[in-house]
Structure 1
Amino acid sequence: MMLPERLYETLPYFYVVSGSQTVLWSPHWAAALSGVMLTFIGAIVWVIRTEKRRSPYGIKFKDQGGVPFWLYELQPFIYLTSGALLFNFAPTYLVYPSAMILLVLGIQLWLCRICWRSHS
Structure 2
Amino acid sequence: MIPERLYETLPYLYVISGAQTALWLPHWTAALSGVVLIFVGAIVWVIRTDKRRSPYGIKFKEQGTLPFWCYELQPFVYLSCGVLLFNYGQSFLLYPSAMIFLVVGIQLWLCRICCRRHS
Instruction: Normalising by structure 1, report the TM-score.
Output: 0.94
Q: Percent identity?
A: 76
Quick one: distance in 2 between partners of 1:59 and 1:114?
Answer: 16
**Are 1:11 and 2:7 an aligned pair?**
no
Q: In structure 2, list runs of 5 or more residues that go unmatched.
A: none
TM-score (norm 2): 0.95
Q: Which residue of 1 aligns with 2:79?
A: 80
Q: Give aligned pairs, total.
A: 119
Instruction: Using the TM superposition, give the Cα deviation of residue 78 of structure 1 relative to its aligned residue in structure 2, in angstroms.
Output: 0.1
The RMSD of aligned alpha carbons is 1.3
Output the CA distance in 2 between the equivalents of 1:20 and 1:109: 16
The 4+ residue runs of structure 1 with deviation greater than 6 A are none
Structure 1, 13-22 or 41-50: larger mean CA deviation = 13-22
Deviation, structure 1 residue 59? 2.6
Structure 1 residues without counterparts, runs of 5 or longer: none
Give the direction of change, closer, same or farther, for the CA distance of 1:94–1:18 in structure 2 (3 Å limit): same
